[in-house]
Amino acid sequence: MDNSQHIELLCKKISHNSDQQAFKELYLAYFDRLYKFAFSILHSAEFAEEAVNDVFLNIWQKRNSLKNIQSLTNYLFISTRNTSVNYLSKFRKERNTTLDDVLVRFEIDELTPETAFFNAEVRSEIEQAINQLPPKTKLVFQMAKIEGLKYKEIAQILDISVNTIDNHIATAIKKLSHTLKKFRNEEIDFILFQLFTKTNKKTLK
């Protein structure tokens, strides 16, 4: 049984039988990914965990409707996005906070195993370059690179078009390539190729 089939089975057990063990498995299967996503928006371990717990509490309370969700991954990320942004609105005592207002935080250690081969100077330059990207560009890059989500999934989660996803990725790659050009050598070129080819058009499918 592959992972998607296992998740589907867990959802059926939760929806039809209120199976608490299945719910715990579902929670553990998604928690880390959703926590990182929430943390990048909220910059607080406590509130990121609380936001994800709120999402799963809502899932449990509405478990009978799980069978009607077409893409659980998208649903969970969208719910986490909305919950995190709502938290920000409360913190700032402002209404209508959006992802454009978010100072997304990014750490290179989360990016990809290839970056472990960079020296400290190069790693610092990459992290600084990424953190200078516009908030939504940074978030798109994170979702494509860390989460490995498809462009179509990211577009649905962030409520933007696939073409806009392309533009964000192109902006990120251009910025990083420019930042790293002073370090260019065959080894770094190869690692950058590995890094960026993970966000190619295959992710549209």
Residue-level pLDDT at 4: 81
pLDDT at 11 over 90: yes
Choose among 146, 143, 137: nearest CA to 100: 137
Among residues 60, 79, 99, the one where a domain terminates is 99
Tokens describing residue 67: 């069978």
pLDDT at 200 over 50: no
Among residues 72, 99, 126, the one where a domain terminates is 99
Are 200 and 107 found together in one domain? yes
pLDDT at 104 over 60: no
CA distances from 162 to 129, 144, 153 (A): 24, 12, 9
CA distances from 171 to 34, 133, 175 (A): 25, 8, 6
Say which residues have a Cβ less than 8 Å from residue 94's Cβ, sequence separation at least 6. Answer: none
When pLDDT is averaged across residues 105-110 and rounded to a whole number, the result is 56
- Specify the CATH number for the domain of residue 56: 1.10.1740.10
Backbone phi and psi for residue 176, each to the nearest 5 degrees, phi listed first? -70, -40
pLDDT at 80 over 60: yes
Instruction: Name residue, tokens 């299967």.
Output: 29
Say which residues have a Cβ less than 8 Å from residue 17's Cβ, sequence separation at least 6. Answer: none
Cβ proximity of 142 and 106 under 8 Å: yes
Are 166 and 108 found together in one domain? yes
Residue-level pLDDT at 49: 94
Using a cut of 0.75, tell me whether the model's pTM lies above it: no
pLDDT at 38 over 60: yes
Instruction: Name residue, tokens 């990120």.
Output: 172
Among residues 79, 99, 119, the one where a domain terminates is 99
More confident residue, 58 or 193: 58
How many domains, the chain?
2
Are 90 and 113 found together in one domain? no
When pLDDT is averaged across residues 26-34 and rounded to a whole number, the result is 93
In angstroms, rounded to a whole number, what is the distance separating the alpha carbons of residues 166 and 185?
27
* 202 burial type by CB count under 10 A (0-12 exposed, 13-18 middle, 19+ buried): exposed
- Show the domain range for 163: 103-204
- Specify the CATH number for the domain of residue 139: 1.10.10.10
Residue-level pLDDT at 130: 76
Most confidently modeled of 35-49, 109-123, 184-198? 35-49
More confident residue, 181 or 198: 181
Chain mean pLDDT for the chain:
79
Digit-coded pLDDT (tens) for 109-163: 555 555 566 667 777 777 777 777 887 888 888 788 777 788 999 998 888 899 9
Are 92 and 111 found together in one domain? no
Residue-level pLDDT at 24: 95
In angstroms, rounded to a whole number, what is the distance separating the alpha carbons of residues 60 and 65?
10
Q: Return the minimum-mean-pLDDT range out of 66-80, 97-111, 155-169.
A: 97-111
Are 93 and 114 found together in one domain? no
Residue-level pLDDT at 176: 76
